[in-house]
Amino acid sequence: MDAAQKAVHLFENGLNCSQAILTAFGEPHGIDSESAKKLGRPWGGGVGRMGRICGAVTGAIMVLGLAQSGRQDEGEARNDICLTVQELVRRFEQRHGTSVCKDLLGADFSTEEGLRKIKEEMLVKKLCPKFVEDAGGILAELVV
């Protein structure tokens, strides 16, 4: 099982999308699983269930920051990480049309109506494993 598959497994077994990516990919970059779960907790549902940027994408972005840390001076590091983040988001959006949670799900966690639709249609269970898998796969390509 590769790290992207591990992230999907973790997601399907109770972690949110961001936690799953951080936990599956974080350890080689100095973050233990408990810290990954804590750091990833607020990012699920598009940042605190507000439907903004996908939590799997934010988890991948945090791992990129860990993976690229300490390689050069701060100015170069900041430039490099921004370029890598842009590439991650570009690839994710190329596959899914957007990186915005509420658009990916077709419903908004932050509204009563949207939350009801998400629950009734089990949208997180149906759709999000693919987003976790793809964010993880793209991340794996970028941190090689």
The yes-or-no verdict on residue 12 having pLDDT over 80 is yes
Average of per-residue pLDDT across 81-92: 97
Angle at 13 between CA 53 and CA 37, to 5 degrees: 55
Dihedral over Cα of 121, 24, 82, 137: its sign: negative
Mean pLDDT in residue range 74-90 = 91
The pLDDT assigned to 75 comes to: 78
pLDDT surpasses 70 at 121: yes
Q: What is the pLDDT of residue 144?
A: 63
Banded pLDDT at 71 (limits 50, 70, 90): low
Domain containing 50 equals 3-142
Question: In the chain, how many domains are there?
Answer: 1
Mean pLDDT confidence for 1-22 = 97
Statement: residue 124 has pLDDT above 90 = yes
pLDDT, the chain, mean:
95
